[in-house]
Amino acid sequence: MKTVNLTINGKAVTVPANYTILDAAKQLNINIPTLCYCAHLGSDEINKPASCRVCVVEVEKRRNLAPACATPVMEGMVVHTNSQRALKARRTVVELMLSDHPQECLTCPKNQYCELQKLAVEFGIREIEYKGEINKFPVDCSSNAIMRDLSKCVMCRRCEAVCSKVQTVGTLTGYGRGFKAKVGTASMIPLADTSCTFCGQCVNVCPVGAITGISYVKKVWAAINDPTKTVIVQTAPAVRVAVGQEFGFAPGVPVTGKMVAGLRALGFDKVFDTNFSADLTIMEEGNEIVERIKSGKNLPILTSCCPGWINFIEHNYPDLLHIPSSCKSPQQMFGAIAKSFYAEKIGVKPEDLIVVSVMPCQAKKYEAARPEFAPNGVRDVDYVVTTRELCRMFKEAGVNLANMDDEEYDSPLGASAGAADIFGVTGGVLEAACRSVYFMLNGKELEGEAINFHEVRGLAGIKEAQVAIAPGKTINVAVCSGLGNARKVLDMVRQDPNRFQAIEIMACPGGCINGGGQPFLHGDAGLLEKRMKGLYSEDERKVIRCSHNNPDIQALYKEYLGTPGSEKAHHLLHTKYHSK
């Protein structure tokens, strides 16, 4: 590899020739502040339009200041990252940005998580010299998942890059020019009318409060405090390895028991687990996989637990809508079972039972509001809050997870197998399905190490593998995360429908651990890796690793549903997809 020698702040360093000044400075542990720069997780895509000029540095023998994020290193280069000239320019840049930014930090949803605010703190900005016109754009709350407040937009265009290049959804674009420029949709139509999948990756990368989730926290508090309602909560698999981040736990450490205790302390009547319905999903989807493999029809089967991905296929691949599994997602299966089986069991009317989901996701808010998931006008899932929003609720109520003792989930919708935990990471759903499909096809359990399908694990965007579903019999599978990768895999399916028999797809790169509602990762792939390991450790911790061995699932079929794929199961747990 060709290398280059340069000096930064008097320190000599040798780096690969394709490095930028910013890359080289990182190698020396020299911090250069950035704003528009963003390494998008799960892809090679790096957003560096060099438009914000926050990372400018002084380069000797160069007339103007250089943006460190986009300036390649050169042999013999002498760089000063903190010269008076560079510091002054950076300060001016941030002051100019703030001069056209609503000064609403105290009430902004991104207060204390805002990268612009952080820069203002670091630069010690105390007054803004520049006064003038301030853009005031209308707030777009048209969807039930994502809110866009463009008056706060700093035109870093991270959202546009993640939407069009990583996810290939292409909803966002730079719109207009000059002072009035903003990141918009086509013809500035409301987000709800676009092909947005609500994956929420734009929410994750927005450095400021211009794109945030729509919050139902107030409604959840109101329900908890309404004596006429029974309020139950379900927690998605990926939440347990991310929520600790906000309470001083090491990244990725599962805090399941403390979270359960915390939810009880908030006042939920029962604390249940989406893991339970993840096991249920495996029973139904496993049954479907077995049937399709036996009949050879409608293959490959695609997983259907991710609502962002379902929105994507409904918008972009109407010709393939017959191949996703007809299973509802675990969130919706939980809602359907809660409002039927559980409501009957405890003698509460479905409309008086409030189901709250804690999800790592923005698209789950859209999914919960789909009309087909509100039989007789009563929604199966009433409110969705994200992991980030749950952390805020804990803090609001003075619940510090670090001080909580572990507690167990409630019965009968709280127990789960290890297979359910790994739903939260790319590859996990397929692995969980394979464990049970093997049993369904052969009538015997996978033994020893065979239960771990290492070939579908890891954070690679697209994984292809052959997995054993019976002694001596394998099927070809693909696992992908990130909608850009989903597009590649679906194009493969269009070209050769026989290439794969089963495919798992997650909208967010890495799966739900990197969901649009998770505590911010700020481009740190290491944190993602730790969350993944946290979920696999939860799986290994459990005695019961396969969904079909979950005793509460077995009891649910015995008492209520009959068998997987029964008429009742179909009615409650399956759905149809619509071309959009």
Partner 1 sequence: MSCCKKLSEGAEAKFAELDAFIATLGVDRNDERRRGRLIQVLHKAQQIFGYLPREVQQHVACKLFLTEAQVSGVVSFYNYFTTEPKGKYCVDVCMGTACYVKGSEKVLSELERVLGIKADTHPTEDGLFSISALRCVGACGLAPVMMVNGKVYGKVTPAKAVEIVNEYKKQG
Residues sharing a CB contact under 8 Å with residue 296, sequence separation 6 or more, in sequence order: none
484 lies in the binding site for partner 1 (CB under 8 A): no
Rounded alpha-carbon distances, angstroms, from residue 264 to 222, 245, 268, 271, 339: 16, 20, 5, 7, 20
Among 43, 142, 173, 400, binds partner 1 (CB under 8 A): 173
* By the rule CB under 8 A, 555 interacts with partner 1: no
* Catalytic residue numbers, as ranges: 285, 288, 305, 325, 364, 367, 372, 512
Tell the smallest beta-carbon distance from residue 320 to partner 1 (Å).
Answer: 14
Min CB(167)–partner 1 separation in Å:
12
Bridge partners of 496, per DSSP, are: none
Residue at token pair 């930090």:
105
How far apart, in whole angstroms, are the C-alpha atoms of residue 483 and residue 507? 5
257 binds partner 1 (CB under 8 A): no
Report the DSSP beta bridge partners of residue 466. 476
Pairing of strands 211-213, 146-149: antiparallel
Burial label, 48 (beta-carbon count in 10 A; 0-12, 13-18, 19+): buried
Q: Site for partner 1 (CB under 8 A): which residue of 164, 400, 476, 566?
A: 164
Q: How far is the CB of 580 from partner 1 (least distance, A)?
A: 7
SS3 375: helix
Given 184, 414, 427, 515, the residue binding partner 1 (CB under 8 A): 184
Q: Which stretch binds partner 1 (CB under 8 A): 23-31, 168-176, 213-221, 223-231?
A: 168-176
Interface residue with partner 1 among 29, 64, 112, 187 (CB under 8 A) is 187
| Shortest separation between residue 196's beta carbon and partner 1, angstroms | 10
Measured from the CB atom, the residue of 200 and 428 that comes closer to partner 1 is 200
**Identified binder of partner 1 from the candidate list 2, 61, 63, 177, rule CB under 8 A:** 177
CA 55 remoteness from chain centre: 28
Supply the minimum distance, in Å, between the C-beta of residue 154 and partner 1: 18
User: In a 3-state reduction of DSSP, which class is residue 148?
Assistant: strand
Of 3-11, 164-172, 477-485, 524-532, which segment contacts partner 1 by CB under 8 A? 164-172
- For residue 221, list its beta bridge partners: none
Number of residues that bind partner 1 (CB under 8 A): 19
Alpha carbons 530 and 509: distance in angstroms, whole number: 15
CB of residue 173 to partner 1, shortest distance in Å: 3
Alpha carbons 306 and 281: distance in angstroms, whole number: 12
Q: At which residue do the structure tokens 């400021």 appear?
A: 208
Residue 497 sits at φ, ψ, to 5 deg, of: -65, -15
Q: Pick one of 345, 473, 578, 580: the residue that binds partner 1 (CB under 8 A).
A: 580
In the DSSP assignment, the letter for residue 263 is H
CB 220 within 8 A of CB 385: yes
* Nearest residue to 9 (alpha-carbon basis) of 60, 75, 62, 70: 60
- Give the chain's radius of gyration (CA, Å): 25
Using rule CB under 8 A, residue 170 touches partner 1: yes
Q: Which stretch binds partner 1 (CB under 8 A): 86-94, 184-192, 382-390, 417-425?
A: 184-192
Q: Are 201 and 518 in contact (CB under 8 A)?
A: no
Q: Which is nearer to partner 1, 309 or 409 (CB)?
A: 309
278: nearest Cα among 235, 330, 329? 330
Among 47, 117, 171, 204, binds partner 1 (CB under 8 A): 171
Of 145-153, 166-174, 347-355, 388-396, which part binds partner 1 (CB under 8 A)? 166-174
Q: Compute the least distance from the CB of residue 176 to partner 1, in Å.
A: 5
Q: Is residue 185 close enough to count as binding partner 1 by CB under 8 A?
A: yes
Tell me if 176 contacts partner 1 by CB under 8 A.
Answer: yes
Q: Should residue 195 be labelled a site residue for partner 1 when binding is judged by CB under 8 A?
A: yes
- What is the rounded distance in angstroms from the CA atom of residue 354 to the CA atom of residue 230? 6
**Residue 43 engages partner 1 in binding (rule: CB under 8 A):** no
Rounded Cα–Cα distance for residues 387 and 354 (Å): 19
The three-point CA angle 325-331-337 to 5° equals: 95
502 in Cβ contact with 346 (< 8 Å): no
Residue with Cβ nearer partner 1 (72 or 170): 170
Binding range to partner 1, per CB under 8 A, among 185-193, 259-267, 386-394, 568-576: 185-193
Cβ 223 to partner 1 shortest distance, Å: 37
**Segment near partner 1 (CB under 8 A), from 66-74, 163-171, 330-338, 459-467?**
163-171
Considering only residues 275-334, where is the footprint of partner 1 by CB under 8 A? 315-316
By the criterion CB under 8 A, which residues form the site for partner 1?
164, 170-177, 184-187, 189, 194-195, 315-316, 580
